[in-house]
């Protein structure tokens, strides 16, 4: 249209509503140690999680829910501790206190952490996933599997400083943190 002239739009508007956040997190992970014939120990660091804040702005990770499953956590076996540990300080990550995982139906258990940890724009934070694998089930003459996963977008909740409890991108789910087997 010519400058200064109003445009006339006819018809029914259509489209999808979009929500724009000030930043977004990214997460990568890797297994620490052996993935087969792994020994059971009281302090078993099984994976690293590398969190990155987009360069646009700071963010805060408020909730991380992890599902542990496999024969190593057979239903009804001994509960065990699970921790998210700050790789720099070797202490609990932010406010994420140690959790107890109690294996139940389907050879699995779920733990939820609330780190309330802020990551500055464009920077990253490495966190270690630690379990007490000495409590794991030990089937005679067989290896016992363990998987650690973040299953759904609501299992990672974060804040951009304006909006709270934003879920992780659903298209990236599930996130496998580690797969291993114990001797």
Q: Give me the pLDDT at residue 18, please.
A: 83
Which of the four pLDDT bands, split at 50, 70 and 90, describes residue 13? confident
**Arithmetic mean of pLDDT over the chain:** 93
Which of the four pLDDT bands, split at 50, 70 and 90, describes residue 8? confident
Reference 111, options 124, 98, 99; nearest CA is: 99
Which of the four pLDDT bands, split at 50, 70 and 90, describes residue 2? low
Q: Give me the pLDDT at residue 1, please.
A: 45
**Is residue 22 packed enough to be buried (19+ CB in 10 Å), middle (13-18) or exposed (0-12)?**
middle
**Cα dist from 29 to 32, 125, 178, whole Å:** 10, 12, 8
Residue 42 per-residue DSSP state = S
């Amino acid at each position: 249209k010519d400058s200064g002239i109003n445009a006339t739009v006819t018809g029914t508007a259509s489209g999808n509503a979009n929500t724009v956040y000030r930043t977004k997190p990214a997460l990568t992970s890797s297994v620490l140690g052996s993935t087969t014939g792994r020994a059971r120990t009281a302090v078993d660091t099984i994976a690293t999680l590398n969190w990155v804040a987009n360069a646009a702005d700071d963010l805060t990770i408020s909730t991380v829910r992890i599902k542990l499953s496999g024969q190593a956590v057979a239903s009804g076996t001994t509960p065990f501790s699970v921790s998210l540990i700050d790789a720099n300080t070797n202490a609990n990550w932010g406010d994420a206190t140690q959790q107890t995982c109690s294996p139940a139906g389907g050879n699995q258990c779920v733990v939820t952490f609330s780190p309330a940890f802020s990551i500055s724009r464009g920077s990253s934070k490495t966190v270690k996933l630690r379990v007490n694998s000495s409590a794991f089930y030990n089937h005679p003459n067989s290896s016992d599997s363990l998987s650690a996963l973040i299953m759904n977008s609501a299992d990672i909740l974060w804040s951009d400083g304006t909006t709270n409890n934003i879920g992780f991108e659903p298209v990236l789910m599930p996130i496998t943190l580690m797969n291993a087997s114990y001797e």
